[in-house]
């Protein structure tokens, strides 16, 4: 299975999937500070709309099979999500969407988030993506008994990736017992 991290939060979550051998991980962002292999550089733009308008297709020609795109909708780079999904439409696509606490974001970020989330919902309803997983950071924090301030995002990202990984394991495991006759 492929994991495509989009933007800073998506790439940080995608990094956690590198701990599992079942995933081939790709990163899409404006800079490659961590020197990831399978990195696709997108030209930095000043607005959500500008990212969408100036999107240049990325070279995903060798990508095959199930693919999960991971992103948060508040960043300007999330403006490329429609173009990216269009480019990957031949694959079985899933989206892992990180829903932010909208009370702590700017007016523009809130508008971008509503736009991205609304479009992803329409794609899911229209079966243009196989599944849309929506994850709330605030709710994930409630799952953890203790969250350190120092490792806050890393801890949340680790819980998210291990949970998603186990969903994939269960989906791809034959049951030992069955109710089928």
Task: Produce one character per residue of 2-17: b if its CB has 16 or more CB atoms within 10 Å, e if not.
Answer: bbbbbbbbbbbbbbbb
Q: Answer yes or no: are the C-beta atoms of 96 and 70 closer than 8 Å.
A: yes
pTM score:
0.89
| Length, in residues, of the chain | 181
Beta pairing, strands 67-72 & 93-99: parallel
Which tens digits make up the pLDDT trace of 127-169? 999 999 999 877 877 777 777 778 877 878 888 888 898 888 8
Query: Mean pLDDT, the chain, as a whole number?
Result: 89
Which tens digits make up the pLDDT trace of 46-97? 998 999 999 999 998 889 999 999 999 888 999 999 999 999 999 999 999 9
- The structure tokens listed for 166 are 């186990």
């Amino acid at each position: 299975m492929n994991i495509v991290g989009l933007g800073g939060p998506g790439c940080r979550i995608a990094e956690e999937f590198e701990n599992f051998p079942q995933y081939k991980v790709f990163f899409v962002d404006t800079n490659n500070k961590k020197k990831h292999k399978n990195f696709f550089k997108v030209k930095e733009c000043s607005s959500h709309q500008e990212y969408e308008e100036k999107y240049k297709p990325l070279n995903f020609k060798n990508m095959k099979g199930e693919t999960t795109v991971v992103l948060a909708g508040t960043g300007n780079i999330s403006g490329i999500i429609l173009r990216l999904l269009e480019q990957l439409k031949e694959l079985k696509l899933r989206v892992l969407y990180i829903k932010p606490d909208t009370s702590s974001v700017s007016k523009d970020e809130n508008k971008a988030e509503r736009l991205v989330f609304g479009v992803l919902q329409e794609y899911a309803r229209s079966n243009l993506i196989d599944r849309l997983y929506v994850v709330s950071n605030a709710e994930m924090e409630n799952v953890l008994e203790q969250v350190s301030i120092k490792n806050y995002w890393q801890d949340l990202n680790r819980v998210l990736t291990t949970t998603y990984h186990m969903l994939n394991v269960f989906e791809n495991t034959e049951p030992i017992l069955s109710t089928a006759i």
